[in-house]
Amino acid sequence: MIDEARPIFVQIAEQIEDDIIAGSLAEESQVPSTNEFAAFYRINPATAGKGVNRLVDDGILYKKRGIGMFVAEGARARLIQARKDRFRDEFVRPLIAEAAKLGIDPDQLSDMISTEGVTA
């Protein structure tokens, strides 16, 4: 679940984001505590706290004093938008660039994608 290549707090933040996007963590619902995350992923609680705090800084989670951490309203839409932006930067742009190198025009590319979509 946790890989060796990247800081754990980044991976924890991404896990929570994934859960919000998938809907298993609904907006305005309480998220597990830092210690629960730490126990579940078997990681240092300070590291888990760092991951959670990053989402608080991004406005995805917010703190209710004395109660705990909650998913912010609109968090899911914002996360999906952010992921879409990242998807465009990380996958679509290199894809188009590579296609252009090989002389594949956008129509052909689009055809290839829909064919793949059918078989996949």
Residue numbers of the site for other proteins (CB under 8 A)? Answer: 2-9, 33-36, 38-39, 41-50, 68-69
- In the bound state with other proteins, the residue whose beta carbon lies nearer, of 14 and 78, is 14
- Alpha-helical regions (H) of the chain: 8-22, 34-41, 45-57, 75-87, 93-101, 106-119
Specify the DSSP class assigned to residue 60: S
CA dihedral 73, 79, 81, 83 (to 10 degrees): 180
- In the bound state with other proteins, the residue whose beta carbon lies nearer, of 45 and 78, is 45
The neighbour count for residue 68, using CB atoms within 10 Å, is 14
Query: Minimal distance in Å, beta carbon 34 to other proteins?
Result: 5
- In the bound state with other proteins, the residue whose beta carbon lies nearer, of 43 and 72, is 43
Query: Minimal distance in Å, beta carbon 120 to other proteins?
Result: 23
Query: Minimal distance in Å, beta carbon 53 to other proteins?
Result: 8
